[in-house]
Structure 1
Amino acid sequence: MLGKINDPKVSTVTAEQLLYGPNPGSDRLREEIAKLLNRHFNPKVLLSKENICVGNGCGPLLNLCGEVLFDHGDAVLVPGPYYGGFEADIKYGSRVYTIPVPHCEGDCLKVDEAALEKALKNANKPVKGIIIANPNNPFGRCYSAEQLLLFCNFAKSHGLIVICDEIYGLSTWKDITEQHIEEGKTIEDYHCHCSSCQSYKDAPRIESGMDGKQSKFTSIFSLDLPDPENTHGLWGFSKDFCLNGLRIGVTISYSKTVMAAMQKICFLTCIPTNIDNILVNILSDQKWTDHFIINNNRKLLKNYTHLTNSLNAHHIPYVQGDSGFFIYIDLHQAGLNEFDLWMKLLEGGIYISPSQAFFSEDKESERNWFRICFAVEQDELDLSLDRIYKVIDTLKQKKIEI
């Protein structure tokens, strides 16, 4: 990606780019984004530039959605545990509050209607919407089409708005790698085959108790939506294109009213014209873009298998993943409460996010889970794992001595 961006043909600044650009992004950029999402997300109704508003990251755009779609003091239901940044993104600016909805026992991505009804009934603020992250963060896996439709049908029946954050939608490494297996290879060829993985490969996996049924990625826009005018999406370049620092997010909506409102106030979130031009030059090279997406997913799959081989060998349960950059691991065996264990890990030179950062339920089975990001170089990943194992082994040894 860095080589592509630094190509003079991609990054040359023109005189036109020294002027103010269109607030929601240039027509050409929005057209190229629509083509990309049409190609990979398979929307039921093809997207056009009219359905796209570009801004400086999905966080600011979620805040913008809060301003456009809700009133100050409203609340949204969010299946939990959920990405902790939602709290800041929609609360501090637009003053919209999040209400966690627990998942079903034994399936981290199954939420039934009874749980949604209970959360709606017990809310101490007017609930006006549902926010979903698909693929999910922190679990690193995808909701089924059936579950997405349950959310959408529930929302329609109660007059709620749906916002689906699909920022990891092109990092569905299990699906994408399986779809693009080179001739003469199998999916196993894209797993990690380093010496440590070879020695670990026969280690059994310990069930997490939260796996449930895995599903392929389904964009919410590929469904036969019960209320398309009140179903909106977010996507961005930070994750799938490794461009966090350039700050480019996308709001997607079929509602002309919502898009008109977004475009009126998106001067607060517009991106620089030179970044707009760089993205146009990248996306217009469709062959390069699609190759990058495939190659990136192969690397993520390799790191995931490297990580899970190691976790299996060290008898650490985890939720099986298929997308995104994260894996959710169970460290109950350490024998400490979550906060104390988190502090011990920090003292041991490792930061991994505890379940409380994702607003998990306050009960024993939901605590002492931690999220690991595996989208790093393997030597860095190995160093991190070694530090985790050292902390856990030390704590277990102290329990034995006591």
Structure 2
Amino acid sequence: MMELVATSIGDPGDCLMMPMPCYGGVFWDVGGRAEIEVVPVHLTSKMEEGDTRPFQLTAKKIEDTYNKARAEGKKIVGILLINPHNPLGDIYSAELIMDILNFCHKHSLHVIMDEIYMMSIFDTEAKYTSVLSLPNIPDPQRVHMVWGFAKDFCMSGMRCGVLYSVNEAVNKAVDALVYFNMIPGPIQHILTEIVLDKEWLDKVFIPTKYSRMREARSYMCDKLSALGIPVRKSPSGLYIWADFRKYIQPLTPENELVLFEKFMDAGVYLTPGIEAFNCGEPGYFRMVFTVYRDHLEVGMERIAAVLKDCAENGLTKPQGANAEASANVKEESLEDLLGLLQGRISSSGWLEETRTQNWATQNPVALEQFKQAMKSQEGSGDK
């Protein structure tokens, strides 16, 4: 949906501002077929005047980025915001949103507000403001809200996006383009049945989801605290923004990837900040906690083992790691990350070592548990 809106409001070579670190897929969403450039509004751990916390977005930072880009000859057509934020988990206040809307109105800029995590706010005391709920929006013709089922309904991969805009030209353009992105009928039927069952959503699904999110996040935060890993206090999201800088010495982008590789070799996936989210400084990882509890426990045990090894032996590259790929840090974060993973598979013994036969031999207890689970599933299917 972001691609369709971006294509509708800009031309190839135009630019959209976006706070960073942020969801790295946006480079493909707006930069692929639409060929629109992303101009980062860099947020850092170093607090500036007026900030109350690290990585804080302010209207001034947006204005400074806009002025710098214009001075470089770039044509800015708008800003893309994710609220609640990915990966920081922040919620933008109504005051901040209005400040941004007023700035954009002053410069005739579009605002794409991605609210895909709007129902993933587990903190009961947090106050969330949708852009659609604001009175007296200064330029409603240039404000476009997008949302999707994937995150809030725990259905990643079930592609179905929503656009709300009062701009007739944008709606007509998206309507023409969406012909090539239509939602299959069976998926439409499934999602319709879900949203029509309002009683189940309000009394069962949403309360259960929030309760499980709070429990899982608390567990992960406690384990990270015991390891000396600071985490960002945030009220929303399916993930935690964690600070691993104490284990990355010297603190460089290259060594962030070394730690990433060590986690991968230990069988746990943590998303590195620079490579995946265009973070302006090394040492931060996004950790998803919305998984089964037993998976979470095993993952935290593996993380603890990796960090223990780093503390005792230093940050050394894991055996078989692709040194050339890990040392080559470029701007195209997601592309580089995929290249790194492909390099590890093709240039090491990783694929051979993780064949089914080898895994079964090395993990007899897990294999037996898997067999029992499969038998249980078969029994359920017969009933």
Deviation at 1:94, TM superposition (A): 0.5
CA distance in 2, matches of 1:78, 1:245: 24
Contact 2:59 2:96 in 1 (8 A): no
Q: Decide which of 56, 63, 71 is 2:11's aligned counterpart.
A: 71
Deviations, residues 342-392 of structure 1 (Å, cap 9, x unaligned): 12222222211111111111xxxx311000001101111111111111111
Between the two structures, name the one with larger relative contact order (CA 8 Å, sep ≥ 6): 1
Partner of 1:358: 277
Gaps spanning 5+ residues in structure 1: where? 1-60, 179-214
Partner of 1:382: 297
Partner of 1:318: 231
Aligned-residue CA RMSD in angstroms? 1.9
Q: Decide which of 272, 275, 278 is 2:190's aligned counterpart.
A: 278
User: Does 1:168 find its partner at 2:79?
Assistant: no
Between 1:143-152 and 1:117-126, the stretch displaced more is: 117-126
Deviation at 1:108, TM superposition (A): 4.2
Deviations, residues 201-243 of structure 1 (Å, cap 9, x unaligned): xxxxxxxxxxxxxx52211111122211111111111011112
Q: How does 1:88-237 map to 2 (within 5 A)?
A: 88-103=28-43, 105-106=46-47, 107-108=53-54, 110-123=56-69, 124=72, 125-175=74-124, 216-224=127-135, 225-237=137-149
Query: Which amino acid in structure 1 is aligned with residue 240 of structure 2?
Result: I
CA distance in 1, matches of 2:113, 2:55: 14
Partner of 1:19: none
Equivalent residue of 2:151, what SS?
A: coil
Equivalent residue of 1:90, what SS?
A: helix
User: Does 1:86 find its partner at 2:35?
Assistant: no
Contact 2:82 2:113 in 1 (8 A): yes
CA distance in 1, matches of 2:160, 2:106: 34
Q: How does 1:222-301 map to 2 (within 5 A)?
A: 222-224=133-135, 225-291=137-203, 292-301=205-214
Query: Which amino acid in structure 2 is aligned with residue 268 of structure 1?
Result: F
Contact 1:72 1:95 in 2 (8 A): yes
Equivalent residue of 1:136, what SS?
A: coil
CA distance in 1, matches of 2:244, 2:221: 14
Deviation at 1:166, TM superposition (A): 0.6
Deviations, residues 45-82 of structure 1 (Å, cap 9, x unaligned): xxxxxxxxxxxxxxxx1111111111111111101111
Contact 2:217 2:289 in 1 (8 A): yes
Contact 1:240 1:293 in 2 (8 A): no
Q: Decide which of 264, 270, 275 is 1:346's aligned counterpart.
A: 264
Query: Which amino acid in structure 2 is aligned with residue 62 of structure 1?
Result: M
Contact 2:256 2:283 in 1 (8 A): yes
Partner of 2:329: none
Number of residue pairs the alignment of both structures matches: 299
TM-score normalized by the length of structure 2: 0.74
Contact 2:92 2:129 in 1 (8 A): yes
CA distance in 2, matches of 1:243, 1:127: 34
CA distance in 2, matches of 1:248, 1:108: 34
Query: Which amino acid in structure 1 is aligned with residue 188 of structure 2?
Result: D
Contact 1:140 1:327 in 2 (8 A): yes
Deviation at 1:109, TM superposition (A): 5.3
Deviation at 1:302, TM superposition (A): 1.1
Gaps spanning 5+ residues in structure 2: where? 48-52, 250-254, 316-383
Question: Using a 3 Å threshold, how does the CA distance of structure 1 residues 108 and 143 change in structure 2: closer, same or farther?
Answer: farther
Partner of 1:392: 307
CA distance in 2, matches of 1:290, 1:257: 36
Deviations, residues 288-322 of structure 1 (Å, cap 9, x unaligned): 12231222111111111111111122221010121
Deviation at 1:285, TM superposition (A): 1.6
Partner of 1:211: none
Query: Which amino acid in structure 2 is aligned with residue 328 of structure 1?
Result: W
Query: Which amino acid in structure 1 is aligned with residue 127 of structure 2?
Result: K
CA distance in 1, matches of 2:58, 2:195: 39
Equivalent residue of 2:170, what SS?
A: helix
